[in-house]
Amino acid sequence: MPSKYNPGEIEEKWQREWERSGAFKADAGGAGEKFYLLEMFPYPSGRIHMGHVRNYSIGDVLARFYMMSGYNLLHPMGWDSFGLPAENAAQQNNIHPAKWTYANIESMRNQFKRLGFSYDWDREVATCDPEYYRWNQWFFLKMYERGLAYKKRSSVNWCPRCLTVLANEQVEEERCWRCESEVEEKELEQWFLKITDYADELLKGCDTLTEWPERVLTMQRHWIGRSVGAEVHFPVIDGDGDDSITVFTTRPDTLYGVTFMSLAPEHPMVKDLIQGKNEEEAVRAFIERVRREEKRAGVEAVQEKKGVFTGAYCRNPLTGEHIPVYVANFVLMGYGTGAVMAVPTHDQRDFEFAREYGLPLKVVITPAGEEMEAESMEAAYEEDGIMVNSGPFDGMGNREAIEGIVDHLESEGSGKRAVTYRLRDWGISRQRYWGCPIPVIYCEKCGIVPVPNDDLPVILPEDITFTDGGVSPLKEVDRFMEVKCPACGGEARRESDTMDTFVDSSWYFLRYTSPRERSAPFKRDEADYWMAVDHYIGGIEHAVMHLLYARFFTKVLRDIGLVTVDEPFKKLLTQGMVCKEITRCPKDGYLSPEEVDEGRCRKCGDEVAIGAVEKMSKSKRNTIDPDGIIERYGADTTRLFTLFAAPPERDLEWSDDGVEGSYRFLRRVWRLVDDNSDVLAGVAPYDGAEGCDGYLREMHGLTHRTIKKVTEDIQRRNHFNTAISAIMEQVNALYQWKGEKSGKNASVFREAVESVLCLLSPFAPHLCEELWERLGMSEPLYRTKWPACREEALKVDEVFIVVQVNGKVRSRLGVAADAGEEEVRKTALLDDKVQEWIGEKAIKKVVFVPKRLMNLVVG
């Protein structure tokens, strides 16, 4: 009797077996070349979404492929478990963040296991575990010893909703990266990590990451933003002695054309420059207005250029001319020195500002053989050319003059060669509770005192009270805050800020190599064996946050002597999003499918509008519950659809029909084995030792062409959708098997079926393990060697061509592989089955696809 495909029963059976047997445990002493495969670990929100399913299914396909290919695989999982959502949940639900977090971890772990992911759960880590975050604190102290961790007062990005500081990388278009609230500026004492010390190495390292997407590398190069130029000092007129405004410029060739100076509103010299002047009140009002506008990096390119005269002047060090000093809204204190020398004739932004405020223009570079008059210019000339109005440098090419001008500045003590970066040091202080405590103590006598290593970890107190005032709850816990100074024994207080959670994720991949080590963050020999991560998978949204920070941390740990690698991730795959169309009601906003009935809103009865396809999100009510899909179709179908619907790097558009199609395909595979169980029983697969011809040779060749295609699509291209499509084609061919299934025929058929199960197993592992067992195999499929392509089988002497008459299949013909249209036509007309449908009718048209098809159109 044929058996029924029951995914729930089968999947539960194999998940129990994999756990019982320790199927996916990693061992640094295991056989085969090591392969470290890793997906970015998730935040434990409590429920997985389809984005999780897709991301981790991609990783699982690669993990199972490399395991079957003989590699010694490390494929771990953990939880990025500190952070603001847990704190918000604690306030909203009156539950401790730890309890909320660990309950969510338990829930998501079970969901991941239900999907059959091949993780070594013995290596599981959670960043909120004191045994993990003690090493965050240890790293911080090591960096403090080396001058890489420091504290200063600075203007910071403040999220009024999250009530915490944000790093520059966490501000996206003036909004908080997490809650999308408008970001404010605030002056606070903050701890920083000196990532700028590694700016040049991080930039050069991009050239070595040949297996990263170019888009990510471009984003990192831009964010680091290396500029080569000169620092130039403009003495302040009537200033106190050595007062100078220092600028950084990549265009010292334009120094003779400077006609005004622009300062950022936050520039520290503004206060002294305007003090006591008639312009003081107007400048202060302008600065306050700019602060309200909350400009951020990138905004200066699109906003209207505005400024105000300070009443002060500085002196051009080359010409001696007095230059008016302005405060301008397009100058950012976070870039360069916060001061810009303005050359209106050779910078379009300065040109527009000068025209707006009636400031002078002076041409110092002209096209070769041409003259330019400043009064007639309609735009800045920003190209290369010949120096004019530039003293001893007149007549030189402007690029040639740069070296001479900088030499002159250095000889006069007015400037020097310099390199600057767009990258700024990483502010890690967060005014929240649920994070890693920063391990320093403040003593009135001794100042800042590091917590001794023997006192680590500094553990978060459990009994805390949340307030709405933006003050860290830790400040209110006296037994945590009040301590003895480790240096003098006097009364002291702890640091109340916790670390940015990106610190947690900057080294977790190293902890996986020896997660139970207690005397060190990880064992050196284990890290040396497994690192670097061979294949890393995660979202492109982390290009200038997590991915940059992880590279920085790896280089610091290398310099400390803990690791030997320079880069943490060898190959990077950035997957696309899972998207679905949105539905909106004019009155009630976004609607879920359950809130729509026959095109109308169930709440108000209005006709709804089907909107664009957008990323799945709870706020847009276009999410799909993975548990519901798994319950109805099984984990294998859920995985298969997310992998088949689109290439990994592209967005995936959700389709109910696509899910149904994936389910139907898996049922076809089940029936293929189940319906032919008698044929397959006791038959050895064809091994190619004894030759075969005709149809059998064609099927043998198809099997190995499919092996070759699927292998290359997984390993080289990560094109899982086309790999699945090739397997589907082979299944279709097996359903159309021609002739008996006995003797050598049965062996070729068995070989093809076995290859289907092997090739499909990374995508649908439960189904394939079950059918593999039913074929009588004693060794589990995940331990079976990945099938090898026989190149001999790919050589085609004869092909079978489908012959159609008026578009309907009437016969299949074996012809020479290089047979042309005329030869195939003659052979077809001699075929009895074809003649039966043509008879005396005239052939009006012939459609020929070499090696595949001929269609005879008759009438």
- DSSP string covering 430-449: E--SSSPBP-EEEETTTEEE
Assign domain 226-421 one CATH number from 1.10.10.10, 3.90.740.10, 3.30.70.270, 3.90.550.10. Answer: 3.90.740.10
pLDDT digits (tens, 9 = 90+) for 42-69: 999 989 999 999 999 999 999 999 999 9
CA distances from 685 to 120, 487, 605, 742 (A): 33, 75, 62, 12
* Residue 210: per-residue pLDDT: 97
* Distance (Å, whole) CA 87 – CA 99: 11
Q: CB–CB of 577/51 below 8 Å? A: yes
Instruction: Identify the helix (H) or strand (E) that includes residue 623.
Output: none
CATH fold of 676-794, please?
Isoleucyl-tRNA Synthetase; Domain 1 (1.10.730)
Which tops the pLDDT comparison, 831 or 817?
Answer: 831
Q: Where in the chain is the domain with CATH 1.10.730.10?
A: 676-794
Question: Can you give the pLDDT at residue 300?
Answer: 41
Rounded CA-CA distance 804/505 in Å is 60
Residue-by-residue DSSP string for 174-234? TEETTT-PBPEEEEEEEEEE-GGGGHHHHHHHGGG-TBS-HHHHHHHHHHH-EEEEEEEEE
pLDDT at 471: 67
- What DSSP state is assigned to residue 531? P
Q: What are the helix (H) ranges across 676-764?
A: 677-680, 694-712, 720-735, 744-760
343-374 pLDDT tens trace: 999 999 999 999 999 999 999 999 998 999 99
User: Whole-prediction pTM value?
Assistant: 0.85
pLDDT digits 0-9 by tens, 195-244: 999 999 999 999 999 999 999 999 999 999 999 999 999 999 986 667 99
Task: Please list the residue range(s) of the chain that carry CATH number 3.90.740.10.
Answer: 226-421
Q: What residue type is 621 in one-letter code?
A: R
Q: Are 50 and 111 in contact (CB under 8 A)?
A: no
Q: 3-state class of 137 per DSSP?
A: helix
SS (H, E, C) 818-841: CCCHHHHHHHHHCCHHHHHHHCCC
Quote the CA–CA distance of 323 and 236 in Å, as a whole number. 9
SS3 163: coil
Q: How far apart (Å, rounded) are the C-alpha atoms in residues 362 and 345?
A: 6
Nearest to 35 by CA among 81, 80, 69: 69
Q: Nearest Cα to 126, choosing from 149, 148, 100?
A: 100
Higher pLDDT, 153 or 161: 153
Mean pLDDT over 155-171 rounds to 76
Determine phi and psi for 159, rounding to 5 degrees.
-95, 115
- Identify the pLDDT of residue 297: 38
The CATH number fitting domain 798-858, selected from 3.10.20.590, 3.50.50.60, 3.90.180.10, 3.40.1390.10: 3.10.20.590
Where would I find the H helices in 645-676?
Answer: 656-675
Give dist(CA 297, CA 332) in Å, integer. 8
Please list the residue range(s) of the chain that carry CATH number 3.10.20.590: 798-858
The reported pLDDT for the residue numbered 652 is 87
Only one residue has tokens 């960096």, namely 143
- To the nearest whole percent, how much of the chain has pLDDT over 90? 75
Give the pLDDT of residue 298: 39
Report the alpha-carbon distance of residue 112 to residue 44 in Å, rounded.
12
Q: Which residue has the higher pLDDT, 684 or 172?
A: 684
Each residue of 595-631: pLDDT tens digit? 888 788 888 888 888 777 778 877 777 778 899 999 9
The residue ranges of DSSP E strands in 749-797, in sequence order, are: none
Query: What φ, ψ does residue 809 adopt, rounded to 5°?
Result: -65, 125
User: What percentage of the chain exceeds 70 in pLDDT?
Assistant: 97
Average pLDDT estimate for 774-778: 94
pLDDT of 803 above 90: yes
User: Which distant-in-sequence residues (6+ apart) come within 8 Å of 659 by Cβ?
Assistant: 629, 633, 637, 638, 641
Strands 34-39 vs 533-538: parallel, antiparallel or unpaired: parallel
d(CA 128, CA 783): 35
What CA–CA distance (Å, rounded) separates 331 from 308?
Answer: 12
For the chain, give the mean pLDDT.
Answer: 92
In angstroms, what is the C-alpha Rg of the chain? Answer: 34
Q: Answer yes or no: are the C-beta atoms of 77 and 24 closer than 8 Å.
A: no
Cβ atoms within 10 Å of 694's Cβ, excluding its own? 13
Beta bridge partners of 171: 176
Q: Is the peptide bond preceding residue 368 cis, with omega within 30 degrees of 0?
A: no
Higher pLDDT, 794 or 420: 420
Q: What is the pLDDT of residues 451-495, one digit of tens each?
A: 999 999 999 999 888 866 556 789 989 999 999 999 999 999 999
Would you say 428 and 499 are in contact if contact means Cβ atoms under 8 Å apart? yes
Q: Which residues contact 427 (CB under 8 A, 6 or more apart)?
A: 154, 156, 165, 167, 168, 190, 191, 192, 500
Is pLDDT above 50 for 104?
yes
In the predicted structure, residue 689 carries a pLDDT above the cut 80:
no
For residues 234 and 317, give the distance between their C-alpha atoms in angstroms, rounded to a whole number.
Answer: 6
What are the phi and psi torsion angles at 525 (to 5°)?
-70, -35
**Long-range contacts (CB closer than 8 Å, 24 or more residues apart) made by 56-59:** 56/112, 56/115, 56/117, 57/115, 57/117, 57/639, 57/642, 57/643, 58/537, 58/573, 58/575, 58/643, 58/648, 58/718, 58/720, 59/117, 59/537
199 close to 193: Cβ distance less than 8 angstroms: no
Among 128-137, 171-180, 460-469, the minimum mean pLDDT is found in 171-180
pLDDT digits (tens, 9 = 90+) for 292-303: 765 443 344 446
- What is the pLDDT, as a whole number, of residue 162? 76
- The residue ranking higher by pLDDT, 606 or 512, is 512
pLDDT(124) > 90: yes
DSSP 556: H
Could you report how far apart the first and last alpha carbons of the chain are, in Å?
47
Consecutive H or E run containing 339: strand 339-342
As a whole number, mean pLDDT of residues 74-94 equals 90
Packing angle of the helix pair 97-114, 626-633 (nearest 10 deg): 30
Cα 808 from Cα 831, distance rounded (Å): 15
* Residue 70 predicted with pLDDT over 80: yes
When pLDDT is cut at 50, 70 and 90, the band that residue 139 belongs to is very high
| pLDDT confidence of residue 470 | 56
Question: Quick check: 715 and 763 in contact, CB under 8 A?
Answer: no
CB atoms within 10 A of CB 537: 22
167 pLDDT band (50/70/90 cuts)? low
Tell me the average pLDDT across 399-415. 96
